[in-house]
């Protein structure tokens, strides 16, 4: 007896140890899942946070100027990407390269002979100076005989024993100056553009006469240097009393600013012709109905944004307005899009466009610099950097450094502004992009050329996510819930043993296979049999109802009543026969109703059709979601206590009344959870929508058009995105939004399920 007790004690101890070990492992697993979830959220937030972090500008170095570097002669400056090598143009026609050291209040570094790295005399006794569009990096002087000297400074990277260094140099447009005025009259105001195959020079001489000259590169294959041939360009009658004018880098458009208007001139075969003139007063009051019309607002200066599709007009009231061409009634019209206000009463000193992005710096007479980003209509930062405005300024090509030139020093600022294009407005509201007729929601992460910016509106892909989930649920919920009701309540146990596991096995099918079949097999079939497919979907429920009515009539006069639970099996040949009938003879309806081609009829009605569309997604994703909803809903219905329905039947309720008033009400928490689980699956699905939607980010509820979803967008674009870029971080934001959506939906579903369960648990 003692041995038996010892045996049971040892067995109970082993069982206790096993239980404790299993309990510890389960707890550890649950805690690990929670920790992993928290780490995932933390990582997503860490990647996303820089998008919404404020930009900063900090003084890095100040370089005192010696007698050999008299800054009051400076007309332009430039700096390389590393912030170490810079150049400046002077009023006496010199281009000077120099090195910057990294300490504050230090003189400019020189070579061993205490002279700048490179000093070049571009022209003697210059009359005027002009910097072309910022990203072109061309600068030019004019002399007192109507000649123009255009040069382009550049920094070449060389690797030495001391590491990477910048080697400064410059190139000239031609060996001889451009003779813009053949009479030898000095040019007092001018602009120019230089490209590989052509160049254009336009100016006003000291007599107030306009001059224009075009150059074509006639060099042949193998020529080292270009051969430029000049041609005079005709100009319409333009007043010489202009405030400013700018020429686009391609030399095709000339914008002329007057105190109260802007003229747009387009190039033709022989020169330029006036396209339109727009009044500044009318444009400024058009966007502000509360503002009284006043002739005091005048145009002061013109600047081109990178890409040269937008023009910045500095106004006398301190604002800067953005203009570009908008297509209206089939014609392009120069239109004011938005304006930017520093918020102070200071007078603008000058505007500095950024190198490649659609932003600009506004310097005012109080020494404050304001940075704006045009597309997002965002004032990025504003900071007072000096007591007086700088004489001139420049940014590095990578937008990380800002150099300002003052009377006795150069100041170098470090800018941390990697994501100026991302704001809540640009992500979730309509944005008026360059070249578009109106504000729109657009997702276009890459552009055809560097002249156009990426467009990051999350609305189209969020819309696509909801659209795909909606059509999938429209297809899946009725089939899965009704199938679960029939399987759990009406179907015979023998048939249920085969049907339920079969549907559950559907969930094991890889979604990539489902998407592959939907995109490459089903979509072409539906395209060729569009009307037949629609007729099949619309008429099938009516065919099933008619079959059920026929079954009721047949079983009254036959002995088939004992097969009541097997009626679903009898529907299989009915559905297959109806499908054969529709797809065999549906073309007669198409010829009769739509002239033989329903897609052409839809196109004439303005309804677009894509082969991979929401209808295909509804079929494919519904097929993937049905097992999830069916399994949970069927278990919930089948688990309703039998005594509830038996009690209702005993009180005289019909089977249908028992189902609708007792069983479904009791099982409603589980059914609701099943639908929410299916919705979460549909929203997060990737491979099916990736292969079956066409992945075009359009916003249209048309069932015959495709869409792009958040998950598919991540799968497509993450491999191509630059790590740390706005695009990269927005893809992580998309993933975070998916996570938040499913978390909120599941939380709401659980809350409702708990309330419903508490409400009906007493039954």
674-687 pLDDT tens trace: 998 899 889 988 88
pLDDT at position 712 over 70: yes
pLDDT of residue 6 exceeding 50, the answer is yes
447: Cα separation from own chain's centroid: 11
CATH for 470-760? 1.10.3720.10
pLDDT of 255 over the 90 cut: yes
With a pLDDT cut of 90, the percent of the chain lying above it is 33
440 closest CA partner among 460, 422, 420: 460
Residue 290: pLDDT band (50, 70, 90) is: very low
Res 163: pLDDT: 65
Q: Would you state the pLDDT for residue 269?
A: 87
Spatial CA neighbour of 363 closest among 374, 355, 372 = 372
Total Cβ atoms within 10 A of residue 100: 22
Residue 610 DSSP label: -
Closest C-alpha among 508, 502, 752 to residue 634: 502
**Which tokens belong to 632?**
């949970």
Q: What is the mean pLDDT of residues 693-718?
A: 90
Q: How many CB atoms lie within 10 A of CB 603?
A: 12
- For the cut 50, the answer to whether the pLDDT of residue 704 exceeds it is yes
| Dihedrals phi, psi of 358, to nearest 5 degrees | -90, 45
For the beta carbon of residue 92, count every other beta carbon within 10 angstroms: 15
Sort 6 into a burial class: Cβ within 10 Å, 0-12 / 13-18 / 19+: exposed
Mean pLDDT of 715-740: 91
Distance from C-alpha of 565 to C-alpha of 495, rounded to nearest angstrom: 8
- What is the four-CA torsion angle of 742, 745, 746, 750, rounded to 10 degrees? 170
Local confidence band at 183 (pLDDT 50, 70, 90 cut-offs): confident
> CB–CB of 189/127 below 8 Å?
no
**101: confidence class by pLDDT, cuts 50, 70, 90:** low
pLDDT number for residue 680: 87
Q: Band of the pLDDT at 13, cuts 50, 70, 90?
A: confident
pLDDT over 70 at 295, yes or no: no
Mean pLDDT, range 533-556, rounded to an integer? 84
Q: How far apart are CA 628 and CA 234, in angstroms?
A: 73
313 has pLDDT over 60: yes
pLDDT (tens digit, 9 = 90+) per residue, 344-400?
A: 788 888 999 998 889 999 999 888 999 999 998 889 999 999 888 899 999 998 899
Asked whether the CA dihedral 571, 573, 576, 582 is positive or negative, the reply is negative
Region 311-322: what's the mean pLDDT? 90
> pLDDT band at residue 294, thresholds of 50, 70 and 90?
very low
438 DSSP assignment: S
CA dist., res. 536 & res. 577, Å (int): 11
Per-residue pLDDT at 58 exceeds 60: yes
Element (H, E) at 415: strand 409-416
Confidence of residue 291 (pLDDT cuts 50, 70, 90): very low
- Matching residue, tokens 């649950």: 30
| For range 442-470, the mean pLDDT | 85
pLDDT tens, 22-43? 888 999 998 999 999 899 999 9
Query: In the predicted model, what is the mean pLDDT of residues 309-330?
Result: 90
The pLDDT of residue 201 is above 90? yes
The answer to whether 130 and 192 are in contact (CB under 8 A) is: yes
Per DSSP, the three-state class of 364 is strand
Q: What is the pLDDT of residue 285?
A: 47
Residue 349 is encoded by which pair of tokens?
Answer: 């000193």
pLDDT, mean over the chain: 85
Alpha helices in 247-370 (DSSP H): 280-286
What is the model's pLDDT at position 111? 45
Cα–Cα dist 763/559, whole Å:
38
pLDDT (mean) for 711-721: 91
Residue 711's CB is within 10 A of a number of other CB atoms, namely 22
* Residue 485 banded pLDDT, cuts 50, 70, 90: very high
- Residue whose tokens read 């990051």: 456
pLDDT over 70 percentage in the chain: 89
Closest CA relative to residue 722, chosen from 711, 733, 730: 730
What is the pLDDT confidence band of residue 296, given thresholds at 50, 70 and 90?
low
Q: Residue 132: helix, strand or coil by DSSP?
A: coil
In angstroms, how far is CA 250 from the centroid of its own chain?
A: 27
Band of pLDDT at residue 282, cut at 50, 70 and 90: low
Q: Is the pLDDT of residue 563 over 70?
A: no
Task: Give CA–CA dist 342/370, Å, rounded.
Answer: 7
Domain ranges in the chain are 2-52, 56-428, 470-760
pLDDT greater at residue 179 or residue 552: 179
Arithmetic mean of pLDDT, 497-526: 89
Residue range 432-450: mean pLDDT, rounded: 83
* Predicted local confidence at residue 2, as pLDDT: 55
- CATH number listed for the domain at residues 56-428: 2.130.10.10
Residues whose CB falls within 8 Å of the CB of residue 63, separated by 6 or more in sequence, listed in order: 100, 101, 106, 107, 108, 409, 410, 411, 412
Mean pLDDT over residues 558-573, rounded? 68
pLDDT at 162: 63
Q: Is residue 644 predicted with pLDDT exceeding 70?
A: yes
Which structure tokens are listed for 369?
């610099």
Q: What is the pLDDT of residue 761?
A: 65
């Amino acid at each position: 007896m003692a041995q038996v007790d010892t045996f049971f004690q040892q067995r109970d101890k082993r069982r206790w140890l096993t239980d404790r070990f299993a309990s510890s492992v389960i707890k550890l697993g649950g805690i690990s899942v929670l920790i992993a979830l928290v780490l995932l959220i933390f990582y997503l937030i860490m990647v996303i946070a820089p998008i919404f972090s404020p930009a900063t500008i900090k003084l890095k170095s100040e370089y005192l100027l010696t007698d050999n570097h008299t800054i009051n002669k400076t007309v332009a400056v430039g700096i390389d990407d590393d912030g170490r090598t810079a150049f400046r143009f002077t009023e006496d026609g010199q281009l000077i390269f120099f090195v910057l050291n990294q300490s504050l209040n230090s003189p400019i570094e020189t070579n061993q002979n205490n002279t700048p790295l490179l000093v070049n005399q571009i022209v003697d006794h210059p009359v005027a100076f002009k910097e072309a569009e910022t990203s072109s990096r061309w600068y030019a002087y004019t002399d007192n005989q109507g000649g123009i000297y255009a040069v382009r400074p550049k920094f070449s990277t060389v690797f030495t024993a001391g590491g990477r260094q910048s080697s400064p140099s410059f190139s000239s447009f031609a060996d001889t100056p451009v003779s813009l005025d053949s009479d030898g009259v000095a040019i007092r105001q001018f602009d120019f553009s230089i490209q590989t195959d052509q160049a254009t020079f336009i100016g006003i001489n000291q007599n107030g006469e306009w001059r224009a000259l075009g150059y074509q590169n006639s060099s042949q294959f193998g020529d080292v240097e270009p051969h430029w041939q000049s041609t005079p360009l005709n100009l319409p009658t333009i007043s010489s009393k202009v405030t400013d004018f700018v020429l686009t880098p391609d030399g095709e458009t000339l914008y002329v600013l007057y105190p109260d208007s802007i003229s747009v001139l387009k190039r033709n075969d022989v020169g330029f012709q006036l396209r339109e003139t727009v009044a500044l007063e009318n444009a400024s009051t058009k966007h502000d109905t509360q503002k009284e019309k006043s002739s005091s607002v005048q145009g002061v200066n013109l600047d081109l944004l990178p890409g040269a599709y937008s023009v910045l007009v500095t106004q006398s009231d301190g604002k800067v307005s953005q203009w570009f061409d908008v297509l209206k009634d089939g014609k392009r019209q120069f239109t004011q899009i938005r304006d930017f206000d520093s918020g102070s009463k200071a007078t603008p000193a000058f505007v500095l466009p950024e190198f490649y992005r659609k932003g600009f710096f506004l310097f005012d007479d109080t020494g404050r610099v304001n940075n704006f980003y045009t597309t997002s209509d965002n004032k990025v930062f504003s900071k007072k950097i000096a007591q007086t405005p700088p004489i001139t300024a420049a940014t590095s090509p990578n937008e990380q450094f800002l150099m300002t030139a003052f009377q006795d020093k150069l100041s170098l600022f470090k800018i941390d502004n990697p994501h100026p294009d991302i704001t809540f407005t640009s992500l979730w509201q309509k944005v008026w992009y360059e070249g578009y007729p109106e504000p729109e929601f657009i997702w276009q992460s890459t552009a055809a050329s560097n002249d156009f910016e990426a467009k990051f509106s999350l609305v189209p892909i969020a819309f696509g996510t909801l659209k795909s989930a909606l059509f999938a649920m429209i297809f899946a919920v009725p089939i899965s819930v009704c199938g679960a009701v029939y399987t759990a309540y009406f179907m015979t146990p023998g048939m249920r043993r085969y049907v339920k596991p079969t549907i559950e096995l559907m969930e094991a099918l890889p979604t990539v296979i489902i998407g592959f079949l939907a995109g490459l097999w089903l979509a072409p079939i539906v395209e060729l049999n569009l009307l037949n497919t629609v007729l099949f979907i619309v008429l099938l429920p009516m065919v099933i109802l008619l079959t059920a009515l026929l079954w009721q009539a047949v079983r009254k006069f036959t002995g088939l009543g004992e097969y009541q639970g097997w009626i679903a099996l009898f529907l299989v040949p009915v559905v297959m026969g109806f499908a054969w009938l529709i797809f065999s003879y549906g073309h007669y309806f198409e010829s009769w109703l739509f002239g033989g081609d329903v897609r052409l009829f839809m196109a004439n009605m303005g309804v677009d059709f894509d082969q991979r569309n929401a209808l295909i997604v509804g079929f494919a994703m519904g097929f993937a979601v049905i097992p999830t909803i069916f399994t949970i809903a069927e278990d919930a219905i089948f688990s309703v206590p039998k005594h509830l329905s038996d009690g209702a039947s005993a009180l005289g309720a019909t089977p249908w009344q028992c189902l609708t008033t007792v069983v479904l009400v009791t099982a409603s928490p589980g059914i609701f959870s099943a639908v929410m689980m299916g919705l979460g699956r549909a929203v997060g699905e990737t491979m099916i929508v990736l292969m079956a939607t066409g992945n075009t980010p359009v916003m249209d509820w048309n069932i015959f058009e495709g869409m792009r979803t958040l998950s598919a967008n991540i799968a497509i674009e993450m491999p191509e995105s630059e790590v740390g870029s706005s695009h990269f971080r927005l893809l992580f934001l998309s993933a975070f939004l998916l996570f938040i959506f499913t978390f909120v939906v599941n939380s709401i579903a659980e809350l409702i399920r708990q309330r419903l369960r508490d409400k009906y648990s007493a039954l």
